[in-house]
A and B are shown apart, each in its own frame.
Chain A
Amino acid sequence: MRFLTLALVAVACVAAPARSDELTGTLKKIKETGIITLGYRESSVPFSYLDDKQQPVGFALDICRKIVDAVKTELKLEKLDVKLNPVTSATRIPLLANGTVDLECGSTTNNLDRQKQVAYTNTHFLTATRLVTKKSANIKSLDDLKGKTIVSTAGTTNIKQMNELNTAKKLGMTILSGKDHAESFLMVETDRAVAFAMDDILLASLVASSKDPAAFEISKDALSPAEPYGIMLPKNDPAFKKVADEATAAFYKSDGPALFKKWFQQPIPPKGLNLNFALSPQLEKMLSSPKDSPDPAAY
């Protein structure tokens, strides 16, 4: 590692004075390569998921495309290729850190732990952890889960919360980890797990798009405060973050409610499902005064 650092310093010393433009980090890379790579999720409906042609679409992807436009303008590029790379909850942070993706467009909770590795632009959603169960399983509270098998998605804050709850309340639950939300939901659908702990909005979408939505119920009580979702970008890259922050802030204020309507209150691909999710005052405030705080109390 020291060698790597030395090499980096040496390169910086040699290369730095030679360049006239002051671009750094991601912007510099995008300018040089003419390519920006967006990380997308496969089953984070309606934020970032695959449509019936297996193309990534969603609320967060639309926001990312606005950031791409802003980057293109900022760098005065005539053409900017957008590459798409699938990420999972488990791979998104390392892939962002190692430059495989430049923006992660999904449903990633913004928290201080993760800010040690990545940065976030303005929050695009607020959601709390809840449980989805089969109605037939008759789970009313956390206590009903004692000794049962539950599932959450690997690499999420939710699985971490469940592990902490499991230890704190001595519930003795077996906690499985799914690769993505579809796989986790499948565990409940096929009776491998009695409950799936996840952000309520994702659960609502999974239930709505399942074969038999009436068979499932989402717990009334939230297991966490409403936490912010943000689009991730590389850490310590203020120039890139500035472009992303300005683009998202302007976009949320002008078109936020319309975009919200498009993905949460109208039929969406692949099956023309309508989530009928109301724009709460809290979410309205988030759109009208954009911020990137990881603190749930700030919203």
Chain B
Amino acid sequence: MEDRKRRGHPMKYNWNWGVFWEASPEGTGTYGELLIAGLGWTIVTALCAWILALAIGTTVGVMRTLPSKWANILAACWVELFRNIPILVQLFVWFYVVPELLPKAWGTAIKQMPNAAFVTAVVGLGFATSARVAEQVRAGIQSLPAGQAMAASALGLTLPQAYRHVLLPRAFRVVLPPLTSEFLNLIKNTSVGLTIGLLELTARARSMQEYSAQVFEAFTAATLLYLLLNVVVVSAVRALERRVAIPGQVGT
């Protein structure tokens, strides 16, 4: 019976949870450390891309609410362009296409940057996310009562001043929850960076699987780390929400 069990099930999996404490062949530490380093890249990439996305997204979102027709059209095109192309395809365009279209010396310089994958991922993810941020910012501004903008101009504020001191601070509080889910999406989307060589968490889990052949241990650990990251971000945003809440406002 024992013999049959062993022979009859040729593809049984060999579990080894101790693998995280074994040295990885990259010589930089254990498999566990390999994954933690990957988590680090995931966080750094997501944060850098988020700053870019917020900056561009706010600008484009504001442009969509301006009285100027051209600003509107331009901003709408931006949003549609980045929203309707899969993120993976956008990354490939940034990685494989854009450097070829630049003057040769520039293209080569970009391609030989030591962190080309990281920079490309930040730019690609940042631009793609900016379209989504822009839509949220626009929705936030448009959700404010029209009287707010009027009151601001009645007080003698210029248009930029009205946005800076009245509209945007309020709009951001309104859209904090949807922006949070965009940030969580961005964290998840950093994993697409593995296709251009970004060594983030999923990529590390995959390479751990390749080296050690412990596929389930590697992916389970990555899964737990993503869940943990999610919980941390959600709690941090809750704390932020409480801090910036305007007393007396509903739903904050």
Residues of A participating in the B interface, judged by any CB pair closer than 8 Å:
1, 8-9, 12-13, 16, 24-26, 89-90, 93-94, 97-99, 113-114, 116-117, 149, 154-155, 160, 163-164, 166-168, 174, 176-179, 190-192, 234-238, 240
Contacts and interface: CB of A to CB of B under 8 A. Distances in A.
B243 interface: no
B206 to A, nearest CB: 6
Interface stretch (B110-118, B128-136, B152-160, B177-185): B110-118
10 contacts: A8-B5, A94-B215, A97-B13, A154-B210, A155-B207, A174-B114, A177-B203, A190-B111, A191-B108, A236-B6
Nearest to A16: B4
Contacts of B213: 93-94, 97, 113-114, 116-117
A8 B11 CA distance: 12
B25 A163 contact: yes
Contact of A235 (B11, B112, B114, B209): B11
B96 to A, nearest CB: 7
B9 interface: yes
A155 B5 contact: no
Contact of A154 (B8, B25, B117, B206): B206
A179 B206 contact: no
B96 A89 contact: no
Given A163-B26, A190-B111, A236-B11, 15 more contacts: A1-B13, A16-B8, A90-B206, A93-B210, A94-B209, A117-B14, A155-B207, A164-B25, A164-B27, A168-B27, A177-B203, A192-B116, A236-B7, A236-B12, A238-B7
Given A116-B213, A154-B206, A167-B27, A12 B9 contact: yes
A94 B11 CA distance: 10
Interface in B157-213: 195, 197, 203, 206-207, 209-211, 213
A89 B96 CA distance: 22
Contact of A12 (B8, B114, B207): B8
Interface of B: 1, 4-15, 25-28, 96, 99-100, 108, 111-112, 114, 116-117, 195, 197, 203, 206-207, 209-211, 213, 215
B112 to A, nearest CB: 6
A234 B11 contact: yes
Contacts, number: 99
Contacts of A26: 10
Contacts of A154: 206-207, 210
A177 B202 CA distance: 14
A164 B28 CA distance: 10
A12 B5 contact: yes
Contacts of B100: 190
A89 B210 CA distance: 8
B13 A177 contact: no
Contacts of A192: 111-112, 116
Nearest to B215: A94
Contacts of B209: 90, 94
10 nearest CB pairs, A to B: A167-B27, A237-B10, A155-B210, A25-B10, A236-B10, A117-B213, A163-B26, A176-B197, A94-B215, A192-B111
Contacts of A16: 1, 4, 8
